[in-house]
């Protein structure tokens, strides 16, 4: 009998759902809007219908299939309580007992578990990806924000309250750039995709770089993909953005190493598609910030999760991790 | 039969040895010089003689005694290998196989384990002190340097290579003060006892504070005890030192919370004797730096280990932790 897991990624706009096999391959997937109506019961029902349809469609092809569980990645997801708590970008207010509500519709499902998206990505890396044989590693997800997941002795670190692994909100530059969370100088304000955009404009302002390939785009429009394309064409501003972003990120990763001494740090997300443009300065900066006992030991690796499916695949990995216990 | 553990603290100048009971009480203690001759075999022999003498003396009083093991706290101590590696302040060069060498003299001892002093203090807090019922906490030791020990799910985090928990060397102010390790801007350069001294002179320089109670001491002479005494007398410079140190430390502790979400952070060492002078601004700063999901949750507590014996007691706690496994 083929065993599969359901992965659900609750995003601000859409909720992606996929049926994932033990090798991390997405067999079928779908998505429904994450509603703005704030009615959690209605959302859970819509979600249940979408999940059941997917299971049905995959069973048409392979009748001999066991669905072991459902893993959910969600902003402000609390693993211990199965709740989403005060997520600023969702319409559901306060503490939402997500797993408890979903459990009513799946009373016999072996595993139902929820965590935040970056934690799910870390578990995905451990179950299906480049961290398969690692017991101690950290995952940084670089995108609109910067998330992270910490693995110690083969287990994800949830901490005392279920929320551990918010490395994007460590302070990089005291009193520095405004972060999305309202505080100042956080790593996320420098090393996320919008952070890179801000760096690009900072450099153009400093050098009055009207000839840069990046000088034709508005502050709203410019994204990390455009910066990468410009860097490939040798644009000086774009190249410096990667240098500077790597310097900042390396400083942050060194702080993480000094806390946890991991075997590797995985980087995931849009900006990492730039390869050595971002990996090289990050590696150099991290090494420069490390105590001698940590130098030339800790690998910085690209995530092996496929970009498009990573959120679903990561969430589904929670199921295998639960079954393991 | 009364069970006891030996605790050994390898310091730069002296090596302290104690016999510790299950309640963390030091029954007898002694110390020998940590040699400058660099001959590890000779040192291990001297240490063995001192340990045996202590065991003998305590057995004279209580014949019905079982020594379960020896725990060692040492700079750059590697738990996994039982080694001291490239410790800058010891005369033994390179990698010293401490546990292996000691094992030859104690072939039947149930537990022989080594880690760095801050990790040992964290285990001491967990076995004998204020963290007895905690599964997730962090220990910061403030002294000549700043050490730390991280506990996740009831176990000390050693990381991939045995050296995790060097939070004193996270970057607080990029490009800031020179740290003892040679890097710049590390937490240790601001929040250690010498860091507080530097802050005091920084403030006196800024304000030309010739009337401060601290203005009569040389840069070499001034210590954190004198700053505390001056603060008690309402000295403005001294009071600002604590305010500023707390601001910096709170920023660092928030970074630790964002990594690990502990139940509590314990502070240990000389500067913490100043009580609310240091705890209040540290708490306020940490809270100001925390994401909303972490606010008003994480306790900052004074260590319950007795200052004089803490190093021995912490090292001995390693033994009970090993026996537990």
Q: In the prediction, which pLDDT does A156 show?
A: 96
Contact A153 B155 (CB under 8 A): yes
Q: In the prediction, which pLDDT does B1 show?
A: 86
B201 and B261: one domain? yes
Q: Is the pLDDT of residue B12 over 90?
A: no
Test the A interface: residue of B260, B262, B264, B292 with most A CBs within 10 Å: B260
In angstroms, the CA A71 to CA A321 distance is: 10
Of the candidates A150, A160, A293, the beta carbon closest to that of B262 is on A160
User: Closest Cα to residue A201, out of A180, A185, A223?
Assistant: A223
Helix, strand, or coil here: A156? Answer: strand
State phi, psi for A184 to the nearest 5 degrees.
Answer: -115, 145
Q: What's the whole-number mean pLDDT along residues B72-94? A: 92
> The tokens of A90 are what?
């969702």
Q: In the prediction, which pLDDT does A62 show?
A: 85
B170 and B270: one domain? yes
Q: Which domain holds residue A31?
A: 2-129+308-324
Of the candidates B159, B262, B289, the beta carbon closest to that of A159 is on B262
In angstroms, the CA B316 to CA A86 distance is: 44
User: Closest Cα to residue B266, out of B164, B159, B118?
Assistant: B118
Looking at chain B, which residue has its C-alpha nearest residue A297?
Answer: B161
Residues of A in contact with B256 (CB under 8 A): 259
Sheet (strand B111-115) strand order: B26-33, B14-21, B2-10, B65-73, B111-115
Q: What is the pLDDT of residues B59-69, one digit of tens each?
A: 998 888 999 99
Chain A positions contacting chain B at CB under 8 Å are 76, 85-86, 135-136, 150, 152-153, 155, 157-167, 169-174, 181, 183, 251, 254-256, 258-263, 289, 291-294, 297-298
Burial class (CB in 10 A: 0-12, 13-18, 19+), B145: buried
Q: In the prediction, which pLDDT does A102 show?
A: 97
A249 and A317: one domain? no
A42 and A148: one domain? no
A173 and A58: one domain? no
Tens digit of pLDDT at every position of chain A (325 positions) = 899 999 999 998 899 999 999 999 999 999 999 999 999 999 999 999 999 999 999 999 888 899 999 999 999 999 999 999 988 889 998 999 999 999 999 999 999 999 999 999 999 999 999 999 999 999 999 998 999 999 999 999 999 999 999 999 999 999 999 999 999 999 999 999 999 999 999 999 999 999 999 999 999 999 999 999 999 999 999 999 999 999 999 999 999 999 999 999 999 998 999 999 999 999 999 999 999 999 999 999 999 998 888 889 999 999 999 998 8
State phi, psi for B43 to the nearest 5 degrees.
Answer: -65, -45
CATH number of domain containing B297: 3.30.420.40
Q: How close A151 gets to chain B, by Cα (Å)?
A: 10
A254 and A285: one domain? yes
Chain B positions contacting chain A at CB under 8 Å are 76, 85-86, 135-136, 150, 152-153, 155, 157-167, 169-174, 181, 183, 251, 254-256, 258-263, 289, 291-294, 297-298
Test the A interface: residue of B174, B258, B297 with most A CBs within 10 Å: B258
What share of chain B has pLDDT > 90, as a percent?
A: 92
In angstroms, the CA B166 to CA B315 distance is: 18
Residues of B in contact with A171 (CB under 8 A): 251, 254-255, 289
Contact B135 A160 (CB under 8 A): yes
Residues of B in contact with A292 (CB under 8 A): 86, 181
Q: In the prediction, which pLDDT does B29 show?
A: 96
A121 and A268: one domain? no
Question: Total domain count for chain B?
Answer: 2
B181 and B222: one domain? yes
Cα distances (angstroms) measured from residue A98 to each of A41, A82, B274, B284? 10, 6, 46, 33
ipTM of the modeled complex: 0.92
State phi, psi for A198 to the nearest 5 degrees.
Answer: -60, -40
> What's the whole-number average pLDDT of chain A?
95
A15 and A161: one domain? no
Q: In the prediction, which pLDDT does B66 show?
A: 94
Contact present, B179 and B195 (Cβ < 8 Å): no
Q: In the prediction, which pLDDT does B124 show?
A: 96
A52 and A151: one domain? no
Q: Is the pLDDT of residue B324 over 90?
A: no
Q: Is the pLDDT of residue B308 over 90?
A: no
Using CA atoms of B181, B183, B184, B187 in order, give the dihedral in degrees to the nearest 10. -50
Q: What is the pLDDT of residues A139-194, one digit of tens each?
A: 999 998 999 999 999 999 999 999 999 999 999 999 999 999 999 999 999 999 99
B149 and B288: one domain? yes
Q: How close B221 gets to chain A, by Cα (Å)?
A: 28
User: Closest Cα to residue A265, out of A137, A141, A159?
Assistant: A137
Q: What is the pLDDT of residues B216-241, one digit of tens each?
A: 999 999 999 999 999 999 999 999 99
Q: In the prediction, which pLDDT does A85 show?
A: 93
Helix, strand, or coil here: B7? Answer: strand
Q: In the prediction, which pLDDT does A63 show?
A: 84
Q: What is the pLDDT of residues B243-302, one digit of tens each?
A: 999 999 999 999 999 999 999 999 999 899 999 999 999 999 999 999 999 999 999 999
Contact present, B81 and B162 (Cβ < 8 Å): yes
> What's the whole-number average pLDDT of chain B?
95
Looking at chain A, which residue has its C-alpha nearest residue B94?
Answer: A293
Helix, strand, or coil here: A310? Answer: helix
Q: How close B52 gets to chain A, by Cα (Å)?
A: 33
Contact B165 A86 (CB under 8 A): no
B236 and B167: one domain? yes
């Amino acid at each position: 009998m083929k065993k599969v897991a359901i992965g659900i990624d609750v995003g601000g706009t859409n909720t992606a759902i996929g049926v994932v096999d033990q090798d991390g391959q997405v067999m079928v997937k779908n998505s429904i809007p994450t509603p703005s109506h704030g009615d959690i019961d209605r959302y859970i029902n819509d979600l249940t219908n979408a999940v059941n349809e997917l299971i049905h469609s995959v069973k048409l092809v392979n009748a001999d299939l066991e669905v072991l569980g459902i893993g959910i990645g969600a902003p402000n997801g609390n693993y211990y309580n199965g709740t989403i708590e005060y997520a600023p970008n969702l319409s559901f207010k306060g503490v939402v007992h997500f797993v408890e509500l979903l459990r009513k519709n799946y009373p016999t499902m072996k595993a139902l578990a929820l965590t935040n998206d970056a934690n799910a990505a870390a578990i995905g890396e451990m179950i299906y990806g480049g961290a398969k044989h690692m017991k101690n590693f950290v995952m940084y997800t670089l995108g609109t924000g910067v998330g992270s997941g910490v693995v110690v002795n083969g287990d994800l670190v949830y901490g005392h309250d279920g929320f551990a692994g918010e490395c994007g909100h460590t302070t990089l530059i005291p009193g520095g750039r405004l972060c999305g969370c309202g505080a100042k100088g956080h790593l996320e304000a420098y090393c996320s995709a919008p952070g890179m955009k801000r760096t690009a404009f900072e450099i153009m302002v400093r050098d009055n770089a009207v000839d840069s390939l990046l000088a034709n785009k508005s502050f709203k429009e410019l994204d990390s993909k455009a910066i990468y394309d410009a860097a490939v064409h040798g644009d000086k501003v774009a190249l410096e953005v990667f240098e500077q972003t790597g310097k900042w990120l390396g400083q942050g990763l060194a702080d993480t190493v000094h806390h946890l001494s991991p075997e590797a740090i995985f980087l995931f997300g849009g900006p990492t598609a730039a390869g050595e443009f971002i990996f090289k300065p990050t590696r150099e900066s991290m090494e420069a910030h490390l105590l001698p006992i940590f130098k030339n030991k800790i690998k910085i690796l690209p995530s092996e999760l496929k970009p498009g499916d990573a959120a679903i695949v990561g969430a589904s990995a929670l199921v295998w991790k639960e079954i393991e216990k």
